[in-house]
Amino acid sequence: MRHRYALILIIGFSFLVHLHGLTSPLLDYHAHRQCQTASMARNYARHDMHFLRPEIDTEGLPQRAGTEFPVYSYLLAVLFKFFGVHDILGRILSSIFAAWGAVFLYEFVRRRLDDVTALVSALVLCMIPVHIYFTRTVQPEPMALWGLLGFVLYLDRWMCSYAPADAVRAFVFGALAPLLKLNYLYLVLPLWLLIGWQHLHWRALRNITFLEIMTGIMVAVACWYQYARSAAVVLLPLSGKEHLENLRPILTPGLWQAHFVSRLPELCLTYPGTVFAVTGAFALWKNGKAWMWGLWFLCTAVYILLLGNYGLIHRYTELPFAPVNAVFIASGIVYLVGKAKKHKKWLMLLAALVLRQISFSGSYPKLFRAFDLLNLH
């Protein structure tokens, strides 16, 4: 399939799966966080569009809040200025970043595996329940994941070509991810090391530009969150004491069970997707290509554990599992398609699993309502 047609298919499919609930008010799961983000955008539009003064309505009179880098809310405020204050604008903005992030994943997997696996990975990403849901909510998570995927793509491109433009893009996307969600620093740093090691091994740590990219990211993140701490209302746990308190449940069985027994197979893979992912891991291992994706998955698992109680409460923290899981699932699908060409029983099994994957992903609103009713944190 031609590259252009693949991109059209990915973007079109991404918008298609995000149509459900596009006009819904911000009363679904994580309504408080969505309303807070939307109110920040509304205050920008109402007042002077002063980027460095994000204001919220949930702490009394509007006042500067210490929060994440407010570029998502600011973009939404621009839309509010042109089209009026409508919830659908936030959902459309999130859906744009979802589609764009799927394109980034496609381009990255293309470089590492092949065109077919890359296309299937991007399409599967669009179907994973946690991705469908949290990339249509009015929160900075869709843009943060977009930044993470852009960082991985452009860092890899730079390490192959050493084009200055790719180094700049890697820095910008790599900084945006933790600026939008500070905990993404737990992902940006190990993925930076992982890609650097794959290309240059220890020599990566002697490459000035490679070091400058991460130094610039760390400086940008430190500067913004230091500024955020000076606000009258600080919404984020930025002190060391708060972080240690947050880590208290890290060794409790409940935290591990919630993430790896409940949410991972239900929200981040789906049950049929788990079968594909295990098959894909085997196929990648068989071809000697599993280590990159396996370490990416491991980095994400460590990231979710380091979030402690915060990750236990907020299910959107599971979102970074979606891209790497999509690659494993896609690899499994491609592997089984190859088998199915020779054996009809494989073809029947594959068709059943794909249909179940689609139907399971389509049921995500019921899935999240069930989590709310059971109060499973």
User: Is 367 a residue whose pLDDT tops 60?
Assistant: no
Give CA torsion, residues 290, 295, 298, 300, to 10 deg.
-110
What's the mean per-residue pLDDT of the chain?
Answer: 88
Q: Residue 208 burial by CB count (10 A; 0-12/13-18/19+): exposed, middle or buried?
A: exposed
How far is Cα 143 from Cα 71, in angstroms, rounded to an integer? 9
Q: State pLDDT tens for residues 212-224.
A: 999 999 999 999 9
- Sheet with 233-234: list strands edge to edge: 55-56, 63-66, 233-234
Q: What does the chain come to in residues?
A: 377
Q: State pLDDT tens for residues 328-362.
A: 999 998 988 887 777 666 666 666 666 555 555 55
- pLDDT band of 371, cuts 50, 70, 90: very low
For residue 261, give the DSSP letter.
Answer: I
Q: Which residue has the higher pLDDT, 253 or 234?
A: 253
Q: Which residue has the higher pLDDT, 371 or 151?
A: 151
Contact 88, 21 (CB under 8 A): no
How far is Cα 245 from Cα 251, in angstroms, rounded to an integer? 13
Q: Give the C-alpha distances (Å, rounded to integers) separating 95 from 118, 120, 123, 142, 327.
A: 20, 19, 14, 8, 20
The end-to-end CA distance of the chain, in Å, is 43
Q: DSSP H helical segments within 22-70, as ranges?
A: 31-46
Regarding beta strands 55-56 and 63-66, do their DSSP bridges make them parallel or antiparallel, or are they unpaired? antiparallel
Please report, rounded to a whole number, the percentage of residues in the chain having pLDDT higher than 90. 66
Full-model pTM:
0.92
Regarding beta strands 233-234 and 63-66, do their DSSP bridges make them parallel or antiparallel, or are they unpaired? parallel
How far is Cα 204 from Cα 158, in angstroms, rounded to an integer? 12
How far is Cα 346 from Cα 373, in angstroms, rounded to an integer? 38
Amino acid at 313: I
Whose CA is closest to 113, among 301, 318, 332? 332
* pLDDT for position 116: 94
- pLDDT band of 375, cuts 50, 70, 90: very low
Q: Which domain holds residue 58?
A: 3-374
Opening angle at CA 7, ends 123 and 210, nearest 5: 90
* pLDDT for position 29: 78
Q: Which residue has the higher pLDDT, 277 or 372?
A: 277
How far is Cα 101 from Cα 112, in angstroms, rounded to an integer? 17
How far is Cα 284 from Cα 202, in angstroms, rounded to an integer? 25
Regarding beta strands 233-234 and 55-56, do their DSSP bridges make them parallel or antiparallel, or are they unpaired? unpaired
* pLDDT for position 376: 39
* pLDDT for position 281: 96
* pLDDT for position 353: 62
User: Is 62 a residue whose pLDDT tops 80?
Assistant: no
User: Is 185 a residue whose pLDDT tops 60?
Assistant: yes
- H or E, element range at 63: strand 63-66
Q: State pLDDT tens for residues 79-94.
A: 999 999 999 999 999 9
Task: Count how many domains the chain has.
Answer: 1
Contact 104, 146 (CB under 8 A): yes
* pLDDT for position 125: 96
Q: Give the C-alpha distances (Å, rounded to integers) separating 297 from 183, 324, 346.
A: 16, 6, 27
Q: Which residue has the higher pLDDT, 306 or 238?
A: 306
* pLDDT for position 362: 52
Residue 326: phi, psi to the nearest 5? -60, -35
Q: Which of 56-60, 160-164, 174-178 has the lowest mean pLDDT?
A: 56-60
Q: Which residue has the tokens 């992902």?
A: 187
Contact 41, 90 (CB under 8 A): yes
